[in-house]
Structure 1
Amino acid sequence: MNAFSRLTTAVSLAYLLPLVAHAGEVEVLHWWTSGGEKRAADTLQQLVEEKGHSWKDFAVAGGGGEAAMTVLKTRAVSGKPPAAAQIKGPDIQEWGELGLLTDLNGVAEQQGWDELLPEQVARVMKYEGDYVAVPVNVHRVNWLWINPQVFAEAGATAPTTLDEFFAAAEKLKAAGFIPLAHGGQPWQDSTVFEDLVFSVLGAEGFHKAFVEQDEATLTGPKMVEAFAALKRLRGYIDANAAGRDWNAATGLVINGKAGMQVMGDWAKSEWSAAGKVAGKDYQCLPFPGTQGSFAYNIDSLAMFRLSDEDNRKAQADLAETVMSPQFQAFFNLNKGSIPVRLDQDMSAFDACAQSSMADFKEAAGNGGLQPSLAHGMAASSYVQGAVFDVVTNFFNDPQGDPQRAAQQLAAAIKAVQ
């Protein structure tokens, strides 16, 4: 029996989450729709229903969440927002400014969120000092996933630098494998790009570029170098990448058709769903050149104002459930991410997750913990969209000029600030 099975066997959901006197309904908008993600979302639904409430699932497919946000805006404008929606980063502040979010201070005080959460996480969950969202997990974005069997057949070595990354890609290509599995979607293109920026510019340069949006950094020689690396990388993906979902790209690595994938740790959920073992069937490595740093993406559920008292109780119970150690374990073991609680027991987690948690805590103290731009944590959705446009246009232009792309990046960001 594996660690997850032991954990689920040891925990009685009925005991942990007794029925409440008044049942309410929680409608939850999210985009946890791939195999491993869906199992994680189903766990949350089960826990909420164990409390006697009804769960109205509002799943909108699309790994980056763009489609879900479009639907949410339509619902909010019509005055019918869901009880909870998967919103993160600066977007939480934008919804807070509209006066549509409810505070969760009562639940937060009862559970001691200020003590349980890293300061960086707690700050993102608040609007004007009030908790308005509950964090579900912490994802690391700067991961490189490799299939060691494919590497062995190609005579390639797991890379720790960008030079080694391209050397491995060349060997994989020569051996007839797809060197880098990729899905040609804007958010995936920018995920690869930001990892290259992290590698080339370092944590300080990454922060200046994407958080401070410093023009000199955005147009500087290191950013040009990052774009040049992206152009070079483009030559190692297959011709069918356009429009491919991220989990389909992960499948190419799992099935031995490709050697590597650059993706956040939600990719691990696909490996787990396929019955693969971390450290044996696959390897998770910090993206070459970003060792000691951590680009984070935090999934969170923002809570909207509700008029019905029973539904508000259900909403509060949802927030409490999300922060419970039991759910943090259940969800993150399925999702591939790590818990947000600093006191979480990590013994049931695999080597990738344990390494991720250790690196997360270390990076929080050394300046290496940085918010992901590609995943909506570093800047507004407008800045993110501007970056997506520039990066994807460059990525798909064989004649793209790195110097010009850096200038376009700065100009596009400035236009939406």
Structure 2
Amino acid sequence: MRISKLVLGISMALGLSMAAHAAEVEVLHWWTSGGEAKSVAELKKMLEAKGHQWKDFAVAGGGGESAMTVLKSRVVSGNPPAAAQIKGPSIQEWGDEEVLANLDGIAKAEGWDALLPGVVADVMKYQGKYVAVPVNVHRVNWMWANPEVFKKAGATVPTTWDEFFVAADKIKAAGMTAVAHGGQPWQDATMFESVVLGVAGAEFYNKAFVALDAQTLNSPTMIEALKIFHKIKAYTDPGSPGRDWNLATAMVINGEAGMQFMGDWAKGEFTAAGKVPGKDYICVAAPGTADDFTFNIDSFVMFDLDDKALQVGQNDLASTILSPAFQEIFNLNKGSIPARLNLPMDKFDDCAKLSAEDFVSTAKANTLVPSMAHGMSTFSSTQGAIYDTVTEFYNSDSITAEAAADKLVKAVAAAQ
């Protein structure tokens, strides 16, 4: 009887302790496609195993623009979520608003500085303090190809832009779509930055999209890249405008199209469809970019909240995100590579292993560059100005590349 009472007392105490720390953690994100949704489900499961409730705040839209619009309205109204998917320079913008929680406590306790590459850790900090936790590292400058489509067309997977147009002509002549593309501004910009990188290299890319140098933005080299970018449109299908990125990926998966320019989150779609790299699909760097790496880091910020239980929930969420178990399972599902250093890559496929190797080698060679299209190189206002100029040019047959380059300089200057 005494033992039963003791056990009951301990159970009640544990229950009260868990109740005191349990929180309903609302998480804003835009991971709604197959591979992404699967990854979110794992994070939810792991957080709930720590005694918290996950409140899903999903806003569809691959580039996150819709999610950011909704988030701003929530923060302005004084009702921010506990956590939100935010990345790149946008973290600094939110830091300036003085609405982010300081994660230095959990970061120091778990040794984040030793776990993360310096380039990743720097993005996660505001004024030297952690305010965000990285989920992964994406390589953006991938090209995905369906080998069966290439075989039917008698084409070879290209490594240069000249080879690209030869292959695209053969696929088009065989009655298939050469390039699966979703005509949305962020997807246009994703393809555009890979073209610029492939034509001009990392040093030029940094001058254009990090330094925002006017002479570089309106140069013969940029004009050449713009011409190649616009020429690709002729190899897409009439259903391209407005198409979501994962539907474009599905065209490659199903053999309706030969290629897609998209970051390695596309691999999550191939994986979810049961496809095997090297057999059912091929992953190669976009033409001319094999020695370069455009990175996109997904991360979560925590908002400054007074609720102590929610603060515990936020720390537990941050800890879960950077845990080896979640880093592995998330990135296996998502197609990306772990942000955390020295995790075994045994379970990862050849595309991920190549990405991990190139991430390290390009960092040493100074050819690791932040993705403009995915909010890693510029503030959102400048990124939006580039989006508008690039998309307008891509969708017009009357704007010359020279005029587009001139407009790019003016748009960027006006946005700063």
Structure 1 residues 202-241: aligned runs within 5 Å: 202-241=201-240
SS in 1 for 2:211: coil
Separation in 2, partners of 1:176, 1:198: 30
How much has 1:106 moved relative to structure 2?
1.1
Separation in 2, partners of 1:24, 1:245: 34
Matched residue, 2:376: 377
Matched residue, 1:263: 262
8 Å CA contact retained: 1:135, 1:300: yes
Determine if the alignment matches structure 1 residue 352 to structure 2 residue 348.
no
How much has 1:410 moved relative to structure 2?
0.8
How much has 1:400 moved relative to structure 2?
2.2
Matched residue, 2:7: none
Determine if the alignment matches structure 1 residue 193 to structure 2 residue 192.
yes
SS in 2 for 1:284: strand
Matched residue, 1:22: 21
Structure 1 residues 17-416: aligned runs within 5 Å: 22-416=21-415
Separation in 1, partners of 2:390, 2:20: 52
How much has 1:20 moved relative to structure 2?
8.2
How much has 1:25 moved relative to structure 2?
1.8
Separation in 2, partners of 1:49, 1:398: 53
Separation in 1, partners of 2:236, 2:405: 22
Deviations 1:68-115 (A, max 9, x none): 000000000000000100000000000000000011111111111111
8 Å CA contact retained: 2:89, 2:379: yes
SS in 2 for 1:159: coil
How much has 1:231 moved relative to structure 2?
1.4
SS in 1 for 2:51: coil
Aligned length: 400
Separation in 2, partners of 1:71, 1:272: 30
Separation in 1, partners of 2:413, 2:87: 22
How much has 1:22 moved relative to structure 2?
2.0
Counterpart residue identity of residue 238, structure 1: D
Separation in 2, partners of 1:310, 1:148: 52
Q: 1:238 to 1:316 in 2, by over 3 A?
A: same
Counterpart residue identity of residue 319, structure 1: A
Deviations 1:45-70 (A, max 9, x none): 00000000001000000000000000
Counterpart residue identity of residue 141, structure 1: V
Counterpart residue identity of residue 373, structure 1: M
Separation in 1, partners of 2:367, 2:110: 29
8 Å CA contact retained: 1:20, 1:51: no
Separation in 1, partners of 2:241, 2:159: 28
Separation in 2, partners of 1:365, 1:80: 43
Separation in 2, partners of 1:390, 1:243: 17
SS in 2 for 1:56: strand
How much has 1:343 moved relative to structure 2?
1.2
8 Å CA contact retained: 1:141, 1:294: yes
How much has 1:21 moved relative to structure 2?
6.2
Task: Give the TM-score, by structure 2 length.
Answer: 0.95
Q: Tell which structure's C-alpha radius of gyration is larger.
A: 2
Runs of 4+ in 1 over 6 A off after TM superposition: none
Separation in 2, partners of 1:259, 1:154: 9
Counterpart residue identity of residue 413, structure 2: K
SS in 1 for 2:321: helix
Matched residue, 2:11: none
How much has 1:296 moved relative to structure 2?
0.4
SS in 1 for 2:26: strand
Q: Which runs of 5+ in 1 are unaligned?
A: 1-18
Separation in 1, partners of 2:365, 2:117: 14
8 Å CA contact retained: 2:178, 2:236: yes
SS in 2 for 1:85: strand
How much has 1:116 moved relative to structure 2?
1.0
How much has 1:44 moved relative to structure 2?
0.4
Separation in 2, partners of 1:206, 1:309: 45
8 Å CA contact retained: 1:26, 1:56: yes
Counterpart residue identity of residue 194, structure 1: E
Separation in 1, partners of 2:34, 2:175: 29
Q: Which runs of 5+ in 2 are unaligned?
A: 1-17
Deviations 1:152-171 (A, max 9, x none): 01001011111111111011
Counterpart residue identity of residue 245, structure 1: D
SS in 2 for 1:265: coil
Counterpart residue identity of residue 223, structure 1: M
Deviations 1:1-26 (A, max 9, x none): xxxxxxxxxxxxxxxxxx78621121
Give the aligned CA root-mean-square deviation in angstroms: 1.0
Matched residue, 2:10: none
Separation in 1, partners of 2:21, 2:66: 34
8 Å CA contact retained: 2:20, 2:309: no
SS in 1 for 2:201: helix
Counterpart residue identity of residue 111, structure 2: G
